[in-house]
Structure 1
Amino acid sequence: MNISTPLNATRRGFLAGTGALVVSFAIPAVAQEGEVATPATPAPQNPDLPGSLAETPSLDAWIRIDANGKVTVFTGKVELGQGTKTALRQIAAEELEMDPASIELITADTGQTPNEGYTAGSQTIQNSGTAIRHASAEVREIMIRQASEKLGIPAEDLRAENGRIVASDGRTLGYGEIVADDLLHVDATGNVPLKSPDSYHAIGKPFARVDIPAKVTGGAAFVQDLRPEGMLHARLVRPPTYTARLVEIDEDAITSMPGVVTLVRDGDFLAVIAEQEFQAITAMRAAYATAKWDEKENLPDQNDIPAFLESAVSETGSVASVGAESVSGARTLQAQFTRPYQMHGSIGPSAAIALFENDAMTVWTHTQGVYPDRDALAEMLDLPPEKVRCIHVEGSGCYGHNGADDAAADAALIAKWLPGKPIRVQWTREQEHLWEPYGAGMLTRVSATLDDSGKIVDWRYDLWSNSHSTRPGSAGSLMAARLMGRHFQLEPAKLQISPSGNGDRNAIPLYDIPNQRVNWHFVPDMPVRVSALRGLGAYCNIFSLESFMDELAEAAETDPVEFRLRHMTDPRARTVIETAAEKFGWSDDPLPQGRGRGFAFAQYKNHAAYLAIALEAAVDRETGIVKISHVACAVDCGEAVAPDAIINQTEGGIIQSMSWTLYEAVQFDRTRIQSPDWSAYPIARFSAIPDSIEVAVVDNPGTPYLGVAEAAQGPTGAAIGNAFRHATGKRIHDLPFTRERVKTVLGV
């Protein structure tokens, strides 16, 4: 059960979520939906069903109706601030003919909800929303058929309205009066027609976000806010480096401190537990001061990551191979781009609460995958998976595999030492920065040949990168398991090329280019800890491809927007390109010195949302500061369920990508990470936010949902790079565009 526990909650109320499950549907035990397909991903039970219904076809896994008419909808996806809790209600309400506010939504909980793997890849509305919509439509038709039998009226003379079935003669039956035991315990058929867009009352309409009130009023909005009665506070004492080993710690000195309950040591895993939070913090600081570690120099030279990546390749995979092997033309251009290791940079450091009681573990966590996390925790704790329950509670910061799963593991490992007590683990800012998995560094090289007419006739693209996901599923993905005496090992990374992409996501240009070769030079081991950061490889790949498209446009003496349209036949892609250019007021009119325009386009994963963006930037040569002023973009994510949420997600993606592009890079020496706080890892401040951001939602009613949350990251970075080039005549190939790098490129 999801919980919104107030700060003065009782222990009884807090633990209510661990009670018996009263619904009858069966939840698959192993299914996982990762960033890429793996052997562990089960085949769909019915691959012809839409969205996540393919893996979980039973209607009562998605919709429950009580005898009093209360409707509860279940999703295996989580709220990450993207508006999921509101949009999924809208989708269900549309087909059930109800008010969205009257529907209760239960998000990811291994005790109640379908297994939809990770909330990742902008797939919540695409997969879960599609499943909920089709399930809701079938439930509506079941209600009508049952009412037809009860009222003795043909089904065609009945309609659903406000949670009731209404007959042409005025008689009505509420859903609660119709529902019976196991009525919905049937598999979906996928054959019930959906409502037509001209009859919508919920989809595409404005509704207040249900997750916002607690966030703006100081309520218990996040897992960090939960304070159950009887809770103990735990703080970690992490090693100074990934491979450091604990040599010595004065345990008696720590455990004798005021309020300290115990010190947990398991191999190199070390934590202090106290009655009050500041007592735990004080004990943690004392433990850091007295602990002695054996650490070694094992990181490469940060200033030569491209050389490291090229030297560490284990195999090369072909992502695309189309057309002729060699092509001649009028002119060939080449370029190289790099991306550093980058953080999720969660504003709220990771936290979790765990309770071990009656030989079962319950964990409240802001993980993005409750089922994969459950399986990893079960392996780490040597418990059967059915004895571990993971309940999602929002966290203040996410966007991929940050410290959430590790905090859950920390809390669970400690809770097993102290049965019957809720254990709260709260990371520090330094721990979040030093121990979260980073977005992987990348090296890319691209070359292309133009013919005499200025069209691209040949394209070669090579990328060097690790796998971008080491998410849970096995214990070795959890830092607690890797530090404990048993020392679980991370599973070896494997090269996996799939339609969704990983490091190779968006490595294939969507443009019409007859001859293409795209290769992924796979690096199995990264020098720092890496995993999924929003967009995976798409951010760097789109930055590289779209920056290079501007170079080709310049060589072809063609406007960058026109050059893209020249190579694009996809009508939806052309629409967003043209819409963004029109909304921005794109032209070749001269700008004041030091100011430039930039444009970029991509379809996320080449099969999700289309997004084009235009922006204006000012470059200060003396300070090296790049300031983005006006931004305009257009996005097509299929049918627009919640236009305001689409705009919010796009605006957020633009700002996040701007921060990545202008500021963010993890620093390290040959031994340690050197970015423990915001001063050593700067992000965009409010003063850097563009003066205006305009988002045009290109709605396509009745078309499939495409997902939108990660569509803006790649195009934004490229548009900034292209605006810098337009403003200065120079190209920055290495992210980020720090003040120092800008001045170096400009020769200041």
Structure 2
Amino acid sequence: MIVKDDDFNGGRRRFMMSGALVVSFSLLPGVKAMAQEVIADEGAAVHVAKATEALAGSLKTNPYLDAWIKIDPAGKVTVYTGKVELGTGVRTALLQIAAEELDMAPSLITFLTADTGASPDEGLTAGSHTIADSGSALLNASAQVRGLLIDAAAQYFRVSSSVLSARNAIIKAPDGRTMTYGQAVGAADLHRVALPVSPLKDPATFSMIGTSLPRLDIPGKVTGSLSYVQDMTMPGMLHARVVMPPVYEAKLLDTNTPEILKMPGVVKVIRNGSMLAVVAKGEWQAVQAQRALAAGSKWSAGRALPDPATVHRDLKVIATEHIEIANTHNVAGTPVKTLNAKYSKRYMLHGSIGPSCSVALFKDGALTVWTHSQGVYPLRDGLAEMLSLPKDKVRCVHVEGSGCYGHNGADDVAAHAALIAREMDGQPVRVQWMREQENTWDHYTPAMVTEISASLDAGGAIVDWNYALWSSSHNERIVNAGRLIPAQMLAQPFVSSPSVPMVQPEGGGDRNAIPLYALPNMHVMNNFSPTMPLNTSAMRSLGAHMNVFTIETFMDELSAAAGADPVAFRMKHMQDSRARDVIKLAADMFGWPRAPRKANHGVGFAFGKYKNLMAYVAIAVEITVVPETGQVILEHAEVAVDSGQIVNPDGIRNQIEGGVLQSASWTLYEELKFDKTRIRSFDWSSYPIMRFSAVPRTVNVHLIDRPGAPFLGAAEASMGPTAGALGNALFDASGKRLRDMPLAGESLRRQLEF
């Protein structure tokens, strides 16, 4: 028996009258009057009402079920997330989570990502938070929606909910009667606040979570279809290119605008203060005009850049805030041996393969921007402020971009597109930065210095640990219009909000500065710089890359001083059972310890728990060093990962493998080139990244699944451990303890000569 709409409590009439499917993103009524707490994010602070703090993941800030799941009377199910796809495969994994708890095939669900006109506000897609926050929200919201629909059907059928089953949006009774989700939703009313406890399925029954569902985004990318914002076209679309100042704070003095307006296809030259752009009918016409406009523009001198030779010394001068993040004192053995070391890391750029791009349309007093920003809501707020528009007149829609992993130029080019589109009312405008603009106006990862001192007792145990770092927040995300580079160049410029340190346990420059090892006496100091001489912001893993590198290479130095095997030494100081499991698994799969190796070959080991909150990663590597060139070849890696409940095994493996490669590129080779006058890393020859020829011969990722455990973010978790393992393997291969990144290349070649 199939229930007819007219039979079910008014069917669609009741549904339409109830407003059950109105998507709402507001907090609870009266939330402003309630006590609130602030949780850390990689963007602005996120306020959580006391009434919702017990909810799972992003339900804390978006508690209404119909903010996440919409069902129409015809049974069409639409699921929303406020997170975006950055090439990590999270869109697929989030769909799997929703499909599992809704008891539906993924193909039956329409899944939509971040859009300020439709999706919940989940801030930024960053910090390996997507599965932990949005995944947890969808898991619980989907389970509660399924429960509400089944309860509604049970009431109609006059049976217990426990005897009903759901499959592919159809609820079935033991006697054969059925009801669709679309029919049930009229009596379910999804416009309600989620509950702290959900009717979650038994993980043993999962059929979707834990499987390697093929990624949704791959077919289009490998077949060359329109996949990225760079590929977007719209009827009547114009093309724009911008002219950027030659250096920070340079002011535009004059242009050759009359000449440019005579060029083929040129529609308009737009100038607002030092923000300069040309609009043309065709893209190549815009590129040619941009080159001519740049050549004919005159600028003031701007400010000088720092001396590369003194960058790390200067950090100790400009780091004016001293923040103690750990200070523990416990009874320990008597120190008999003390080691000290100092490490450094240079500025690096994102190296996004595709230069940043955005499409914007200003029409009828409202702005729509298509962007590959990692945070459409923070961007929306920044653009609204910049243009003096109400927030509800600005819509930011996420479209994938070819390259990201941090705060690159995506938000800034969106600001350019918004400013230009306002001048071209009613016509869509596509803006793409040039390669040299992407590189020279990037938000670089900040330089860092770390210093460490630790002592051992007679039994080879660590009895004290003193650690200090010098850097900035590593995070200058869009919290006001002044954080947008074009907004700083306007005739009436906006000023960036002050830089503030990100608080622990997430941390910024001090992310992962507190070791997970059991250390009886520990002192960790974050020497924070509120200003940096170069434009800097978030890069994948923030300070964790450098801090874990320091901790893990120093652990090897301590193990050598104690006369202990590096893996055994770590196990001696590790009490966390899950950490011990990944350390043991990586060592076992690698066959640690390896027998003595031939010359110029080395092995290394490292461990980290990302932010001490997210996934556990242990890695063992084998490398070859070419003394004549300083090249380091990562031959082989075995990686063990515990990210809690696994959603998509292949997705996690891909992210860990990609993280190993990217971290190897950073650790061994990458370094921003600049002098006191200009940024000199403006193309791929002046800023080399790892080439396919240098990709590791084998990287094997071993996953520890923990069904029913919380999701732990894994995308950035391998960055630090990879760096530490490479540093340790280099010492094993060369006898040189290298502490200044990048480790390979010409500097290594020179050291190996002696």
CA separation of 1:44 and 1:677: change in aligned 2, threshold 3 A = farther
Alpha-carbon deviations, 1:658-707, whole Å to 9, x = none?
11011111111112111000111000000100100000011111100011
Report 1:644-659 matches (<5 A). Answer: 644-659=650-665
C-alpha spacing 1:687/1:314, structure 2 compared with 1 (3 Å):
same
Asked whether the 8 Å contact 1:296–1:671 carries over to 2, the reply is no
Deviations 1:195-220 (A, max 9, x none): 11111111001211111111011111
Aligned equivalent of 2:708, options 699, 702, 706 = 702
Distance across 1 between alignment mates of 2:49 and 2:529:
29
Q: How many residues align?
A: 728
Aligned residue type for 1:25 = V
Is structure 2 residue 617 aligned with structure 1 residue 617?
A: no
Say which is worse superposed, 732-741 or 344-353, in terms of deviation. 732-741
Which residue does 1:25 correspond to in 2?
Answer: 23
Q: Which residue of structure 2 aligns with residue 101 of structure 1?
A: 107
2:592 alignment counterpart: 586
Number of the residue aligned with 1:84: 90
The structural deviation recorded for 1:495 is 3.0
Q: Is the 8 A contact 2:94 2:135 kept in 1?
A: yes
**Residue identity opposite 2:117 in structure 1:** G
Shift of 1:344: 1.1
Answer yes or no: is 1:389 the counterpart of 2:395: yes
In 1, Cα distance between equivalents of 2:409 and 2:343: 28
8 Å contact kept, 1:506–1:537? yes
Q: Kindly indicate whether the alpha-carbon contact (under 8 Å) linking 1:34 and 1:118 is maintained by their aligned counterparts in 2.
A: no
| 2:302 matches 1:299 | no
Tell me if the contact between 1:45 and 1:55 (Cα under 8 Å) persists in the aligned partners: no
In the alignment, is the contact (CA less than 8 A) between 2:477 and 2:538 conserved in 1? yes
How far apart, in 1, do the equivalents of 2:604 and 2:339 lie? 20
Q: CA 1:219–1:38 in 2, change beyond 3 Å: closer, same or farther?
A: closer
Structure 2 residue 264 is matched with structure 1 residue 258: yes
Q: Distance in 2 between matches of 1:144 and 1:427?
A: 51
Is the alpha carbon distance of 1:326 and 1:267 closer, same or farther for their aligned partners in structure 2, counting shifts above 3 Å? farther
Distance 2:320 2:504 in 1: 19
The C-alpha deviation readout for 1:220-248, integer Å capped at 9, x for no partner, is: 10000001110000001000001111111
Rate the CA distance shift 1:701–1:102 in 2: closer, same or farther, 3 A. same
The equivalences for 1:515-530 within 5 A come to: 515-530=521-536
SS of 1:179's equivalent in the other structure is helix
**TM-score, normalised with respect to structure 2:** 0.94
1:496/1:233 CA distance change after superposition, 3 Å: same
Q: Is 2:190 the counterpart of 1:190?
A: no
Q: 2:642, 2:704 within 8 Å by CA — same for their partners in 1?
A: yes
Aligned mates of 1:324, 1:210 — CA distance in 2: 52
Change (3 A) 1:432 1:421: same
CA contact (8 A) 1:481 1:487 kept: yes
- The range that moved more, 625-634 or 37-46, is 37-46
Identify the range of structure 1 (527-536 vs 172-181) with the bigger mean alpha-carbon deviation.
172-181
CA distance in 2, matches of 1:541, 1:22: 49
Correspondence 1:452 to 2:458:
yes
1:711 to 717, 742, 747: 717
What residue identity is the alignment partner of 1:169?
D
In the other structure, the counterpart of 1:549 is 555
2:171 aligns with one of 165, 173, 181: 165
Q: Distance in 1 between matches of 2:330 and 2:258?
A: 72
Q: Which runs of 5+ in 1 are unaligned?
A: 1-20
Secondary structure of 2:367's match?
strand
> Could you say if the C-alpha distance between residues 563 and 327 of structure 1 is closer, same or farther in structure 2, counting changes exceeding 3 Å?
closer
C-alpha distance 37-324 of structure 1, shift in aligned 2 (>3 A): farther
**SS class of match (2:740):** coil
Match 1:201 to one of 204, 207, 214: 207
Distance 1:679 1:532, change over 3 A: same
SS at match of 2:443: coil
Q: Does 1:363 align with 2:369?
A: yes
Matched, 1:406 2:412: yes
CA distance in 2, matches of 1:146, 1:510: 48
- Counterpart residue number, 1:59: 65
Indicate yes or no: 2:490 matched with 1:492.
no
**CA deviation string 1:351-385 (max 9, x = no partner):** 00000011000000000000000000001111111
C-alpha deviation, 1:328, in angstroms: 4.8
What is the distance in 1 between the residues matched to 2:566 and 2:301? 51
Question: Could you say if the C-alpha distance between residues 44 and 84 of structure 1 is closer, same or farther in structure 2, counting changes exceeding 3 Å?
Answer: farther
Is 2:43–2:123's contact at 8 Å kept on the other side of the alignment? no
Distance 1:76 1:195, change over 3 A: same
CA contact (8 A) 1:36 1:498 kept: no
Tell me the CA shift for residue 24 of structure 1: 1.3
Distance 1:291 1:182, change over 3 A: farther
Residue 635 (structure 2) pairs with residue 629 (structure 1)? yes
Query: 2:186 aligns to what SS in structure 1?
Result: coil
Which residue of 264, 275, 278 maps to 1:269? 275
Per the TM alignment, residue 489 of structure 1 is displaced from its structure 2 partner at its CA by 1.3
Counterparts in 2 of 1:33 and 1:361: CA distance versus 1, 3 Å: farther
SS at match of 2:359: strand
One-letter amino acid matched to 2:100: E
Please tell me whether the aligned partners of residues 316 and 522 of structure 1 are also in contact (alpha carbons under 8 angstroms): yes
1:601 matched to 2:607 = yes
Moved more, 168-177 or 418-427: 168-177
Q: Percent identity?
A: 50
Structure 1 residues 490-541: Cα deviation after superposition (integer angstroms, max 9, x where no partner): 1111234221111110000000001000001111111110001000100000
2:381 to 375, 399, 403: 375
1:215 aligns with 2:213: no
Corresponding residue number in structure 2 for 1:532: 538
The verdict on how the C-alpha distance between 1:182 and 1:350 changes in structure 2, with shifts beyond 3 A counting, is: farther
- 3-state DSSP of counterpart to 1:257: coil
Compute the displacement of 1:164 (Å).
Answer: 1.0
Deviation digits for residues 104-136 of structure 1 (CA, Å, limit 9, x no counterpart): 111000011110000011010100000001000
Stretches of structure 2 that go unaligned for 5 or more consecutive residues are: 1-18
Give the match for residue 6 of structure 1.
none
Q: Greater shift after overlay, 354-363 or 731-740?
A: 731-740
Q: What CA deviation, in whole Å up to 9, does each residue of 1:152-211 have, x standing for no partner?
A: 222122111222111111111111121117711111112223111111111001211111
* Counterpart residue number, 1:741: 747
Shift of 1:25: 2.6
Where do 1:116-195 residues align within 5 Å?
A: 116-180=122-186, 183-195=189-201
Q: Which residue number corresponds to residue 18 of structure 1?
A: none
RMSD value, Cα: 1.8
| SS of residue in 2 equivalent to 1:35 | coil
Distance 2:93 2:308 in 1: 43
Q: Alignment partner of 1:335: what SS?
A: strand
Match of 1:279 in 2: 285
Give the aligned partner of residue 314 of structure 2.
Answer: 308
* 2:741 match: secondary structure: coil
**Any residues of structure 2 matched to 1:236-251 within 5 Å, and which?**
236-251=242-257
Could you tell me the TM-score, scaled by structure 1's length? 0.95
